[in-house]
């Protein structure tokens, strides 16, 4: 509801200021929230630049031209407080102007990251006049009084200064982009939270920590007690589900109270910044999380107080003007992203695929899964301008296929007609069910990162796209087990319309054309490449119920193997 109201306010403000295009907003599309640009749904096929690329005109130009060739529609790039307000109250927006112009040159949209008070827990992007004034902009402290290069999230002065600079940036953005809407969303800070300890231990922080939990947070927890994140619920209930008291009285003596305390004050700090920005240019504002490592879950191992899934309720209470908490997802992709997809939190994955840990080829499968299965508003591999993402990287064919499929994806959105799959662990098969049909997916052993997407485009018609898997269609109805494949075509989508490239049967299709599709349709399973991509449409015929109860050939698991696909 809040999102819809935000959208309405966004529309009204664009109308009242006489803008031609409707400014980007989060709105409902067939029961799900999606980013809308110029009033139309716009799933972001993104890529995030490495941290310092956007600070150079040449590096940005070369990066953006390569991104366009990958069929990306949105580049995610940092700007910084340090670059924009190098001297207090003196702003330099040249970087913003340049980035917007460079994106327009390549017909790309942008998400801009405001690297302000914190980036990856530290304060490396604040201007010199901030970092060199310890009295005005106090730091956090670890145990034993060790002072950290981290601006305190309790500092009024710092949050005001950050908010003022951010508001000036957003005002400028409205002036240069209020009509064209090249910039779709802004991220405030980056992976904030305290590393190395569960909470700030400065004298001032200890004082605040000894005070009662703010009423606003207590009220939020009481009002949402049935829908709280499980960890939050458990922690609160374990300590007696009190509705008032100090942080340790309400949340117990453990590290949990520390993390909640930190999350509350990061949230309050950032909400002030979001309010200031939205007053100037109310496009969606979000924050991103360095997520909890399941093997080392203590706060401080990940930035304590950051917008991780288990702190979602605290963040929602503390920062109601933040539109969503995004997930930087570098491990356990399928399970982690689910925790960030709630009715009040559209899923956005602005960072994925840890190149630095050798995760080099998984972007295509995660893109398909994020958009097709998890219905994310956007997805982006991190470091997309790294030379590893050369012109032969398969993200290009994957984004090309998703771009072609997008009109169909949007047409069938939110109705259980779009599913995606990929191999994340050791599994060799999986099953996906639609109402009348079920798909048995078999991953090709010789393909390292198999993946695909299935769209049910008609009652008995499906479009399947991907690489490295067979999809066998069977009946999902007990009394009607027989299924015939009436036609399989390989093709492409041009302006939303299916265009046949060839009919497929025989060796290129499982069961010589009687079972489903093979992605790609390679006879003899030779020459599999990461960059293979095939889009196929198949029509099925579901047999009427059989009265004699005998089996149908297509369902006969004992049928002789033909040596091509089995
Ligand atoms: C996550 C951060 O959000 C990025 O800015 C970057 O620092 C990567 N980690 C690591 O390269």
Do 396 and 495 have their domain in common?
A: no
Query: Residue 457 Cα, ligand 1 centroid: separation in angstroms?
Result: 39
Supply the pLDDT for residue 269.
Answer: 98
Provide the pLDDT for residue 302: 98
Residue 207 is assigned to a structural domain of this protein: no
DSSP at 239 = T
Q: Over the chain, what is the mean pLDDT?
A: 93
> Residue 11's pLDDT band (boundaries 50, 70, 90)?
very low
**pTM: predicted TM-score of the whole model, two decimal places:** 0.94
How many structural domains compose the chain?
Answer: 2
| pLDDT (tens digit per residue) in 97-156 | 999 999 999 999 999 999 999 999 999 999 999 999 999 999 999 998 999 999 999 999
Question: At residue 413, does pLDDT exceed 90?
Answer: yes
CA of 406 from ligand 1 middle (Å) equals 29
Give 230-235's long-range contacts (Cβ < 8 A, gap of 24+). 231/256, 231/310, 232/260, 232/310, 232/311, 232/312, 232/313, 232/314, 235/260
Residue nearest to atom 6 of ligand 1 (CA): 51
Q: pLDDT (tens digit, 9 = 90+) per residue, 197-215?
A: 999 999 999 999 999 999 9
Choose one of 412, 432, 456: the last residue of a domain: 412
Q: Nearest 5°: CA angle at 326, between 321 and 328?
A: 150
Q: Which domain holds residue 267?
A: 2-200+258-412
| Backbone φ and ψ of 26, nearest 5° | -95, 120
Residue 525: predicted pLDDT: 65
Same domain, 74 and 106: yes
Mutate to test the pocket of ligand 1, among 351, 352, 358, 380 (most ligand atoms within 8 A of CB): 351
DSSP characters over 371-397: IIIS--SEE--BTTTSTTS-TT-THHH
276 lies in the same domain as 376 = yes
Residue nearest to atom 9 of ligand 1 (CA): 120
Nearest CA among 273, 313, 301, 310 for reference residue 151:
273
The enclosing domain of 483 has a CATH number of 2.60.220.20
Query: Which pLDDT does position 445 carry in this prediction?
Result: 87
Cα 123 to middle of ligand 1, angstroms: 14
Ligand 1 pocket (Cβ < 6 Å) reads 51, 120, 190-191, 328, 351, 382
Pick the last residue of a domain from 371, 393, 412: 412
Nearest CA to ligand 1 atom 8: 382
Taking 70 as the threshold, does the pLDDT of residue 5 lie above it?
Answer: no
Q: Residue of the nearest CA to atom 5 in ligand 1?
A: 51
For 430-448, the pLDDT digits (tens) are 999 999 999 999 999 888 8
43 three-class SS: coil
Q: Which atom of ligand 1 is nearest to the CA of 51?
A: 5
The pLDDT confidence band at residue 549, using thresholds 50, 70 and 90, is confident
- Percent of the chain exceeding pLDDT 70 equals 93
- Probe residue for ligand 1, chosen from 46, 77, 189, 190 as the CB with the greatest number of ligand atoms within 8 Å: 190
Res 372 pLDDT > 70: yes
Q: pLDDT for 508-521, tens place per residue?
A: 999 999 999 999 98
Cα–ligand 1 centroid distance for 354 (angstroms)? 9
Ligand 1 atom closest to Cα of residue 190: 3
* End position of a domain, from candidates 365, 385, 412: 412
329-334 mean pLDDT: 97
Residue 243 maps to a domain: no
pLDDT digits (tens, 9 = 90+) for 55-79: 999 999 999 999 999 999 999 999 9
Neighbouring-strand partners of residue 287:
325
| Distance in Å, CA 430 to ligand 1 centroid | 33
């Amino acid at each position: 509801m809040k999102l819809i109201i935000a959208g309405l306010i966004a529309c009204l403000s664009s109308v009242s200021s006489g803008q031609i295009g409707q400014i980007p907003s989060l709105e409902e599309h067939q029961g799900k929230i999606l980013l809308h640009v110029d009033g139309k749904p716009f799933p972001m096929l993104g890529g995030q630049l490495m941290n310092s690329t956007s600070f150079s005109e040449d590096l940005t130009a070369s990066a953006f031209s390569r991104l366009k060739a990958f069929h990306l529609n949105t580049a995610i790039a940092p700007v910084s407080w340090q670059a924009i307000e190098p001297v207090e109250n003196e702003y330099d927006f040249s970087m913003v102007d340049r980035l917007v112009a460079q994106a327009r040159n390549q017909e790309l949209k942008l998400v801009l990251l405001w690297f302000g008070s914190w980036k990856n827990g530290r304060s490396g992007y604040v201007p010199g006049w901030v970092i060199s004034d310890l009295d005005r902009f106090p730091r956090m402290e670890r145990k034993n009084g060790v002072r950290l290069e981290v601006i305190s999230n309790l500092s009024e002065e710092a949050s005001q200064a950050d908010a003022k600079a951010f508001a000036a940036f957003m005002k400028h953005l409205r002036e240069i982009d209020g009509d064209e809407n090249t910039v779709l969303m802004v991220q405030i800070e980056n992976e904030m939270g305290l590393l190395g300890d569960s909470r700030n231990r400065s004298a001032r922080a200890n004082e605040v920590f000894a005070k009662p939990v703010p009423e606003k947070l207590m009220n939020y927890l009481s009002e949402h007690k049935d829908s709280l994140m499980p960890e939050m619920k458990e922690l609160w209930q374990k300590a007696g589900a009190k509705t008032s008291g100090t942080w340790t009285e309400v949340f117990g003596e453990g590290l949990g109270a520390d993390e909640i305390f930190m999350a509350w004050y990061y949230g309050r700090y950032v909400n002030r910044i979001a309010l200031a920005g939205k007053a100037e240019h109310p496009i969606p504002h979000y924050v991103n999380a360095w997520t909890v490592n399941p093997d080392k879950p203590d706060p401080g191992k990940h930035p304590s107080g950051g917008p991780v899934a288990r702190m979602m309720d605290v963040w929602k209470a503390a920062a109601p003007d933040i539109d969503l908490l995004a997930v930087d997802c570098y491990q356990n992709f399928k399970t982690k992203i689910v925790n960030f997809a709630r009715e009040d939190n559209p899923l956005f994955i602005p960072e994925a695929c840890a190149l630095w840990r050798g995760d080099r080829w998984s972007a295509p499968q995660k893109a398909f899964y994020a958009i097709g299965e998890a219905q994310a508003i956007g997805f982006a591999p991190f470091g997309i301008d790294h030379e590893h993402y050369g012109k032969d990287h398969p993200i290009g064919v994957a984004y090309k296929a998703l771009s072609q499929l997008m009109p169909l994806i949007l047409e069938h959105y939110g109705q259980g007609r779009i599913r995606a799959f990929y191999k994340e662990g050791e599994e060799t098969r999986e099953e996906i069910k639609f109402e009348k049909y079920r798909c048995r997916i078999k991953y090709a052993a010789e393909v390292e990162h198999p993946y695909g997407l299935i769209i049910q485009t008609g009652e008995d018609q499906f479009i399947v796209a991907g690489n490295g898997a067979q999809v066998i269609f069977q009946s999902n109805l007990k009394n009607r087990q027989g299924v015939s494949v009436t036609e399989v075509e390989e093709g492409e989508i041009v302006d939303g319309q299916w265009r046949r490239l060839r009919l497929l049967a025989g060796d290129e299709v499982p069961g010589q054309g009687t079972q489903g599709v093979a992605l790609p349709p390679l006879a003899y399973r030779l020459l599999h490449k990461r960059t293979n991509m095939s889009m196929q449409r198949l029509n099925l015929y579901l047999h009427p119920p059989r009265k004699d109860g005998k089996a149908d050939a297509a369902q006969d698991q004992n049928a002789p193997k033909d040596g091509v696909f089995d």
